Structure 1
């Protein structure tokens, strides 16, 4: 049943991609995909209850899955971690064969009633990149890494959509600047940790943040994490 479900969704998505540039991720695109595939309309609705919205989500997640595979196949030996992040973002954008597909998706998820889902997809991309690159953080850093990369990725995506430079050179320069900005924040955090005065000032907040844990692997489809009660650690 699962195989048939996934095949039907993939078939609908493949068929829809030919229409998105002209009709967007719209009901018309979904109807065209159903017609082109010959899938029963009832089955199509069972597979994609929200129609083209579900196909837009599937398209984004397909790109993430392809990105993860390319990262695993790539050789990042000897690269600085900031360069690995930049390379991963470039891989993700390079996987988008037609900018119009991403532009239509951005328009869809910019709508107020779809904005939360769009944000979750961007977060998912950031999470996929960090996980594929071997991130093992299990505290508040799990969140800050993904939140920061989500901001970098979304800003770079929007810049890329309007970029007409040769081989997207302007976009890659923009990406490098955004990552450099993040590295400045990391340097500031290190300065605070190394400063006797500032570290004492931040002792309380750091103690509080130290009890925030990443969500368990089984529940990482959403953003919430878990709170480690300090009393539990004293009991063990």
Structure 2
């Protein structure tokens, strides 16, 4: 599967998802509309709807990164860069909100959890890297774990939000970021405290 073929198929698939869902029938119809043979989707997305949903997530990540590249992030606080990344991704998805809603059902199916987790990880990793994160220690994982919760919660809120221009979602996002920043600072303080414990206690902390 080439990225170009996946994007081409997604372009034809997305308008029908609100009506037909992420289904094999919809993929077959989209294959024909994209100029492929009817079964081409099986080569492009071997696992069918699940692979299509994952490609959709990657497409949103790429759209988010393209938006961030149009901003001078060096003039922004790291927190604001992260907020912009989350918001830019959701704004890219806004024309396909029903497709996002239906994608959650695909990702909730038995066996899809590892793929769903990896997709969220790719998203938060892309946001942190775009924000200039260069951490390699435990902060690398802490930052991504905390942001994953923000992305999932904000997306769920955004799917229910009917406020003009999703203004309520952006306020929700700001509140969640403030909360995780406080948690992150506390975790860092605890780690620093642990690093100064006597050796036996440091060993206990790692068990």
Whether the 8 Å contact between 1:159 and 1:171 is mirrored in structure 2 is: yes
| Partner of residue 113, structure 1 | 111
Deviation at 1:43, TM superposition (A): 3.8
1:71 to 65, 68, 73: 68
| Partner of residue 9, structure 1 | 6
What is the correspondence of 1:130-169 to structure 2 with a 5 Å cutoff?
130-169=128-167
d(CA) in 2 for partners of 1:201 and 1:105?
A: 50
d(CA) in 2 for partners of 1:75 and 1:18?
A: 33
Whether the 8 Å contact between 1:19 and 1:32 is mirrored in structure 2 is: no
- List per-residue Cα deviations over 1:183-227 (Å, max 9, x = no partner): 1113323544666x9942796169859xxxxxxxxxxxxxxxxxx
Q: Report SS of the residue matched to 2:56.
A: helix
Using the TM superposition, name which of 161-170 and 181-190 deviates more: 181-190
Q: Normalized per residue, which structure has more helix?
A: 2
Deviation at 1:36, TM superposition (A): 1.7
The structure, 1 or 2, with the larger RCO (C-alpha pairs under 8 Å, 6+ apart) is: 2
- CA 166–201 in structure 1, closer or farther in 2 if over 3 Å, else same: farther
Whether the 8 Å contact between 1:8 and 1:44 is mirrored in structure 2 is: no
- List per-residue Cα deviations over 1:95-150 (Å, max 9, x = no partner): 01221011011121122222221121111100000111121111221111111111
| Partner of residue 35, structure 2 | 38
| Structure 1 runs of 4+ with >4 Å offset | 205-209
What is the correspondence of 1:33-112 to structure 2 with a 5 Å cutoff?
33-96=30-93, 97-112=95-110
Whether the 8 Å contact between 2:64 and 2:85 is mirrored in structure 1 is: yes
Larger Rg: 1
User: Normalization by structure 1: what TM-score?
Assistant: 0.78
Using the TM superposition, name which of 88-97 and 36-45 deviates more: 36-45
d(CA) in 2 for partners of 1:126 and 1:105?
A: 18
User: What RMSD in Å do the two structures reach over aligned CA positions?
Assistant: 2.5
Using the TM superposition, name which of 198-207 and 47-56 deviates more: 198-207
Q: Report SS of the residue matched to 2:197.
A: helix
1:188 equivalent to 2:156? Answer no
d(CA) in 1 for partners of 2:175 and 2:40?
A: 47
Stretches of structure 2 that go unaligned for 5 or more consecutive residues are none
Whether the 8 Å contact between 2:49 and 2:106 is mirrored in structure 1 is: no
User: Normalization by structure 2: what TM-score?
Assistant: 0.88
Whether the 8 Å contact between 1:109 and 1:115 is mirrored in structure 2 is: yes
- CA 70–207 in structure 1, closer or farther in 2 if over 3 Å, else same: farther
| Partner of residue 20, structure 2 | 23
